[in-house]
Structure formats: structure tokens, C-alpha cells
Amino acid sequence: MIAAPRHGVPQANRLTRIAEHGQPGLSIGRYADVILDSAPSTLRSSVYEALFIHGLDGVLITSADGRTLGANARACELLGRTELELIELGRDGIIDRRDRRWREALETRAREGAFRGVFRLRRSDGSTFPAEITTATFLDGDSPRAYVSFRDVSTAEAEAARAEATTRTAAELIDNLESISDMYIGVDADWRMTYINAQAEARLGVARDEVVGEDIWARFPALLGTEFERTYRQVACTGRTATLEARYDEADLWCEARVYPLRRGGIAIYFRDISERRAMERERERLLTAERAARAAAERAQRDLAHRATHDELTGLLSRAGMLQEVDRVLAGQPEARLTVAFIDLDRFKLVNDSLGHGTGDRLLSEFARRLAALAGPGDPVARFGGDEFVVVLVDRSAEEVGRFAQEVIEASREPVEVGARLLVTVSVGLATATGPADLDILLREADAALYRAKDTGRERAVWFDEQMHVESVHRVEIENDLRHALDRDELLVEYQPAFDLRVEQICHVEALVRWRHPARGLVGPQEFIPVAEETGLIHRIGELVLARAIEQADRWAHIAELRVWVNVSPQQLVDREFPARLAAQLDRAGLPAHRLGIEVTESALAGCSWAGEVLERIHDLGVAIAIDDFGTGYSSLARLSEFPVDVIKVDKSFVHDLGTARGEALVAGIVTLARAIEAHVIAEGVETLPQLTALSALGVDSASGYLLARPSAPEHLPMTLPAEASFRWRTGLHPTVARAPRHGVVVAEVVSAPELRTRGARYPGMPAPGRTPVSGVPLSRRTAVVTSAPDPMPSASGVSAAAMSSSSS
């Protein structure tokens, strides 16, 4: 490069030498010699070659007016012309005249002697290129000259432009990385971090200057062994992008990371905090889970409702509705199917509930349902109809098969059931089969009627339906309906039947008996409507009605000394623990002394309820007498009777009717002996003949009732003394306690000691006091009755021997 001469400094030697050469030639060598004239020849030759021959810069020598005077080879090459062409074209032929800076540059050179800048020059093809131009003036003799040195800077300019663009792009990229909401970390192929944006700095708690250049695994060791490391290494190895969601515990950060491979090697990691999104997703998932759970619960509830609508909740068997649907389904597939209905009922199941509780009863039902389902075929619907009733519909079974099935059910019920207590509960089965097109309602009705017949004939058996059962069933329904109306219309009435003391031939007991005067059918006997009342629960209303009327009537008979009115109490009333309280309230309202009332209970009532003894004790504590009705037809024993407060034993009429036989008399004697053992009064019922009455008196029965003595009647028609036709006319067979004289004579008897007689006089109305006759006060003599063992003991008397009694008058 030729240094520009300082403006105003004379260079006489140089200018002189140039001037000596005269006009310029065709070679720039002459000007080189002039310019380098002061240098040694060897140096001048080297510089000439370096600058003008081999230099990378083009050199032009121009006049002051812009004519080209010479050009080196490099200038010709750059401009695409020969030296001669350049001399001919001059300055204006090689500059870009559109570039106005040329004028300013020439003015600056003229003023300051030199100028340097980048201008565009024109090639021979008309194209232009940027050139870095250095120009300075010098004198060629007296002529001002200028040299122009230039070089093509297109490549440098492009590189500069590229560098600038790269810098600008890098700046924009950094701006982008800093402006995005994501966090960013750049990592090179050696796992050194190349960049980290401000968001990542702040969230990770690091500074860019501290981490850039560091190994990412050394700086963040918690990444090792995590999904982050596996994903980063996978992207670096495969060159495929990847996305992951994971938690970085060191920064308490749930993040979503998007990892991209870089072309130069390494990876770019963009990650964002998704904690809020995760929380929202968890909440959404919770809501969705709750919704799904609610939907599932609703579906389950719907299924449960549908199941409950067709199934029994306790046993899991079909319900009545489910049975109807299942039979409809069977008939839809098999219209000609032959159906047989087995209606099954547990015998005395109510006693289980009443004595052991409903929980035990439920367990018993469940176990029986399990056994029943196991016995039924896979195509035979099994249902619980309610309470202790079950129904099995047998499809296309022969009568023999149905009979075997019923027997299997009965035998299965006999197997003990362990439900806290060891229970043995039997069943009764009613069977009905369709003779034509099956109608389930009709079959159910017929099987139900057969079931009632099975129960009425002794239980624990299977009975087939016949038409007579249908008539009875319809009659029973009519009775129930009419009985409900009868209670509302006060159609029930109470009649009274007396029992006479065989020692004094006077009334000492009166039994209240309910009657129904039907407006269309007339008088309906209790044997017709009482079983229906007990079955339907109407017995409670009837029992309260009879008890109230009997107490009222007993109060009206208060003037008759020691007369006791007896009322029959149903087993259903006896299991009601509130019954004694209601009884006491009625006595209080009527003002009736409790000893003027007695209640009669059957032996089955005592055996069928665990707390019957408790209820009877509370009633007895009131002062009300207790009688065992129909004695000998149930299951009483001396041991069992001793558990209850029994004042009176009533001999059933079936024993009275057998008095003409030795066996019959022995049985009645045994009952009397049993009664004496528990100090109970004995009343015989159903006396219809005088021999019966005579035999009863001779056997020691205390009182008797029956049509021979008096029929049930309204209270105003009640006889107060023994009818003449029933009075004793002879002395044989007299009661052991009374040796009767003629009706108007004196009765003298000697049977008991004074202490015993005092006891009995207090317990039994009409019993004469010691030392007095029943009629005229004749003293009683010694006892003559003899008790011996009988050859045939009474059934169910728990080993108490029957006794034969004989007596003799004094």
C-alpha cells in the first residue's frame, strides 16, 4: 500500500523524476519507477513485483481529469478489461455513476490529497462489485496525477454480511429464548451447557455465567437415573425429538420437557412448569373419577333397584314380581310347558321369631332358602313370597317327580339349622299343576289352598290341590272380608256358658264365648271364623272386644259371691308383652276385683312362646286366675305345668266322651291326679249325659259344663243352679267330697283334712269351710278317698300315673 503524502508537503525529487519521463506510456512500470525512484534498484524491483505485478490489489494511474494512464494486471483482471481498454474508457467507464459518493470522494482527495473507501466499480459485462479503494495524488513533473489502488471486497462483504446476519440471528434467537415462557437449556455434544435462559435460571436457582460451559450431569446430579437422563441420551443418540413429563424433585418442579437434537451435535431442552396444569388435571381426573364413580354407582343403584324389584333382599331368591317375570320368560320360550307350583311354608315359624328374635328367624330363612335353591332344578324358578312362604315353579315335571321334590324339601327342612341355637323347623307343601294352558295366578291360588289343607291336617306334609280346596279357600276369603265388616258393624256378641261345682250344684264359673250373628248367613260358629281371625291377625281386635265385654258383665254379676268369668286368650295375645298392662287397665276402669276374672290358654300356647310364662306370671300377679284349656290334647307335662301359674285345668270334651270305657276313666283320673299335684281346680267340658256327669263326679272332677247342664246363652238367661234333670238321684258314684242326700236333704261328706280344706276353700269358690256342711252345717267326717296306680298311664303326663278313685259314705 502506498502511503498517502501529507497535504502541502513538497516532494520535489519524486515529482521531478516523474516529470522527466514526459507523457505516460502504456505501462504502469514507468510510474512505478518514478514512485520508487528513491529506493535501491533491488528493492525497487521487489516492491514493483509485489505491488504492481503480483499484488492482490488492482492499481490504476489517472490524470487529474479522470483519464486512465495505466493499469496493472490485477486491475485488468478485476475489471475484465485490457490496460488499453481501461485507458480508453477512463474513470467514467469503470465507476458506478449512480453512486454519488464518487464526487464526494474526488473532492475529498483533491482537498486532502488522499481518500479511502468502498465504492462500486463496473466490470466489462456491466456488473458491478464492491471495491475497497485507496487513492492519493502525486505530481508527474508539473502534471498532477493520482494512483488508485483497489481490491474486490465482495467476498469479505458477503462474509461480513453473513457474520452480521449471524450476529443478528443469534441476537434474535437469544431474544426469542429470553422472551418465551418456556425454560431453555442448550447442551453440546459433550454434555456441556451452552446456554440457559433467564426463566430457567430463576426456576432452577442458578446463574448463567456459573453454569454455561459446565457438564449438565455434574451441575444437576439429581437428573442421573431419572426419566430425564434416559430421554436426553436417547435424543442425542437417535437424533429424534422426544417429549416427557416428569418431576424434578430438586426444584420441586413438575415439568413437561421437549428435547430436540441440534445439527452441530448436542440437544436443546425446552421445559415448562406444569404443576398448575397437573393440579388441574388431577382435579379434572378427580372429577372424572367422581363422575365415573357416580355414574357407576347410579348404574349399580339402577341394577340394584331392578334386582330388588325382582329379588328378595334377605334370601337372594326371586320375589313375587321376579317370579312372574321369570315364568313369563319361560312360557315365552316354551308356550306348551307344563307348570307345577309348590307352595312351601315353614311350620310355626312365628314362634321362632317370637321366642328367639327376628335376627334368628332371618338366618333360618336364609339357610332354608339356600337348601331349597339347591334342590330345585336350574330351570325351575324359586321365590320367596314373603314371611316364611316360598314358591317353586317346576317346569315339565311328572307328578312322581313333583312328589319326590316335595318330599326332599320336607326332609331337608328336618335337618337341624345352626343359627346360634340348634333349630328343627319343618315345612308344609301345597302342590298344584296346570291341566291346560298355564295360568300362574290360578296355580298359586290353588297351591296356597293345598298348603292350608296340609297345615290343617297336621303339617309337615305335601298335599295336592283339589276342587274342594278351592271352595274352602274362597269361603275363607269371604269369611275374612265379612269378619272385618262385622267388627266395624258390631255384629259380634258374647254368650256365657256356666260350669257347675259338682259339690254344691251351683254356678261357680262362667265362660265367655264369642258368637257372630251374620246378617245374611245367620249365626256363624267360632270354629268357622276364629281360625281365620288368628290367621289374619283380627284375633287381637276380637280378643280385646270379648275381654272388655266379659269384664263389664262380671261387674254386673258382682252381687253373686265368688263367681268367676273366664275369657279365652289367643296365643297371639299371649305373646304380646303389653297384654298384662292393658288387662290391668281394663280391670281398673271397670272397678272389677281381679280374682273375679280368669283367662284360658291352650297347651300349644304355652309350648309355642318362650316368654308365655313371663306374661302369665304378670297376669297372675294381678290376681287373675289362669286355666289350661282343652287339657290333654297338647304337650303338657307335670314338669312343664309346674313352670306356669296354673289355677284350673279344663278337661277336653274328647276325654269326657270316652268315660264309658276303662281307658277313658283312667285318663280322666290321671288328669285329676295331675291337677291335685299342682293344686289346680278341675273343670270338665262337653258333658252331655248324666252318666258322664256321674262318672266325672266320682273321679273327683270339681266342676263341669256342657249341654246337659246349660247351653251358652245371653247373661240374663244364665241358670244359677243345677237343672233338675241333671241332679243326682242316687248315692252311687257321688263326688268323693260330697255324699249327697235327696235334693232337699243334708249333704254330708268327709274328704279332706281341715288345713287342706281351708286351702281349697280359699282357692275354689263353693268349697265348704271345715266343720260345716255345704247346706245345713253338718260336720264333715274323715277322708275316705284312696289313690292307686293305674295300669295305663296318661299320654304326655310326664310319668304321672293315672289313678282310679273309689269312695264310701260315712
Task: Give tens-digit pLDDT for 659-698.
Answer: 888 888 999 999 999 889 888 999 999 999 999 999 999 9
pLDDT of residue 790: 32
pLDDT of residue 47: 63
Alpha carbon distance 51, 30 (integer Å): 14
Section 720-725 average pLDDT: 65
Burial of 771 (0-12, 13-18, 19+ CB in 10 A): exposed
The helix (run of H) or strand (run of E) holding residue 641 is helix 638-641
Query: Which part of the chain has CATH 3.30.70.270?
Result: 313-465
- DSSP per-residue codes, 4-66: PPPTT---HHHHHHHHHT-S--S-THHHHHHHTTTS-HHHHHHHIIIIIIS-SSEEEEEETTS
pLDDT of residue 576: 84
Residue 754 pLDDT > 70:
no
Residue 654 pLDDT > 80:
yes
Section 210-217 average pLDDT: 94
Q: DSSP assignment, residue 222? A: G
Alpha carbon distance 770, 757 (integer Å): 6
User: What is the residue type of 791?
Assistant: P
Least confident range of 92-101, 198-207, 525-534, 656-665: 92-101
Helix, strand, coil % over all residues of the chain, rounded to 5: 45, 20, 35
Burial 364-380 (b: 16+ CB within 10 A, else e): bbbbbbeebbebbeeeb
Residue 30 pLDDT > 60:
no
Q: Please report, to the nearest 10 degrees, the dihedral formed by the alpha carbons of residues 346, 348, 352, 353 taken in order.
A: 90
Helix ranges, 122-274 (H): 154-179, 198-204, 208-211, 216-219, 227-238
Alpha carbon distance 227, 235 (integer Å): 12
CATH of domain 313-465: 3.30.70.270
What pLDDT, in 10s, does the model give residues 515-533? 999 998 888 888 889 988 9
What pLDDT, in 10s, does the model give residues 54-76? 778 899 999 888 888 889 989 99
Query: Which part of the chain has CATH 3.20.20.450?
Result: 486-723
Section 20-49 average pLDDT: 53
Alpha carbon distance 228, 76 (integer Å): 63
Least confident range of 152-166, 244-258, 489-503, 756-770: 756-770
Least confident range of 197-211, 271-285, 466-480: 466-480
pLDDT of residue 607: 62
Three-class DSSP category at 155? helix
List own/partner pairs for 442-447 with CB under 8 A and 24 or more apart.
443/339, 443/340, 443/341, 443/393, 444/341, 444/343, 444/391, 445/470, 445/473, 446/341, 446/470, 447/341, 447/342, 447/343, 447/391
The domain over range 159-273 is classified in CATH as 3.30.450.20: yes
* CA nearest to 345, candidates 459, 464, 476, 468: 459
pLDDT of residue 583: 94
pLDDT of residue 393: 93
pLDDT of residue 456: 82
Strands 417-418 and 427-433: unpaired
CATH of domain 486-723: 3.20.20.450
Three-class DSSP category at 798? coil
Query: Which part of the chain has CATH 3.30.450.20?
Result: 12-152, 159-273
Q: DSSP assignment, residue 635? A: -
Find where cell 306374661 sits.
Answer: 615
Going by pLDDT thresholds of 50, 70 and 90, the confidence category of residue 107 is confident
Q: Please indicate whether residue 119 or residue 746 has the higher confidence score (pLDDT).
A: 119
Least confident range of 132-146, 158-172, 185-199, 557-571: 158-172
Strands 339-346 and 183-187: unpaired
Q: How many angstroms separate the first and last alpha carbons of the chain?
A: 185
Section 171-189 average pLDDT: 90
The backbone torsions φ and ψ at residue 169, rounded to the nearest 5 degrees and listed phi first, read -65, -45
Alpha carbon distance 98, 92 (integer Å): 11
Residue 460 pLDDT > 60:
yes
Per the prediction, the chain carries an average pLDDT of 80
Answer left, alpha or beta for residue 99, where phi above 0 means left and psi between -120 and 50 means alpha: beta
12-152, CATH topology level: Beta-Lactamase (3.30.450)
Section 335-356 average pLDDT: 84
pLDDT of residue 635: 55
pLDDT of residue 640: 63
Spatial neighbors of 589 by CB under 8 A, at least 6 apart, are none
pLDDT of residue 747: 30
Going by pLDDT thresholds of 50, 70 and 90, the confidence category of residue 102 is confident
pLDDT of residue 25: 43
Handedness of CA 666, 669, 671, 676 (dihedral sign): negative
* CA nearest to 369, candidates 434, 307, 319: 319
For 607, the grid coordinates are: 309350648
Residue 209 pLDDT > 60:
yes
Strands 703-704 and 492-501: antiparallel
User: Bridge partners of 307?
Assistant: none
The backbone torsions φ and ψ at residue 432, rounded to the nearest 5 degrees and listed phi first, read -145, 140
Q: DSSP assignment, residue 547? A: H
Contact 61, 24 (CB under 8 A): yes
The backbone torsions φ and ψ at residue 642, rounded to the nearest 5 degrees and listed phi first, read -70, -15
**The 3-state secondary structure of 661-714, one letter per residue:** CHHHHHHHHHHHHHHHHCCCEEEECCCCCHHHHHHHHHCCCCEECCCCCCCCEC
Instruction: Count CB neighbours of 535 within 10 A.
Output: 15
pTM, rounded to two decimals: 0.48
pLDDT of residue 429: 94
Going by pLDDT thresholds of 50, 70 and 90, the confidence category of residue 639 is low
The helix (run of H) or strand (run of E) holding residue 418 is strand 417-418
State percent of the chain over pLDDT 70.
80
Alpha carbon distance 486, 538 (integer Å): 11
What pLDDT, in 10s, does the model give residues 559-601? 888 899 999 998 888 888 899 999 999 999 999 999 999 999 9
For 313, the grid coordinates are: 333382599
Going by pLDDT thresholds of 50, 70 and 90, the confidence category of residue 36 is low
Alpha carbon distance 427, 392 (integer Å): 14
pLDDT of residue 741: 32
Alpha carbon distance 114, 1 (integer Å): 13
Q: Please indicate whether residue 165 or residue 36 has the higher confidence score (pLDDT).
A: 165
Going by pLDDT thresholds of 50, 70 and 90, the confidence category of residue 184 is very high
Residue 546 pLDDT > 90:
yes
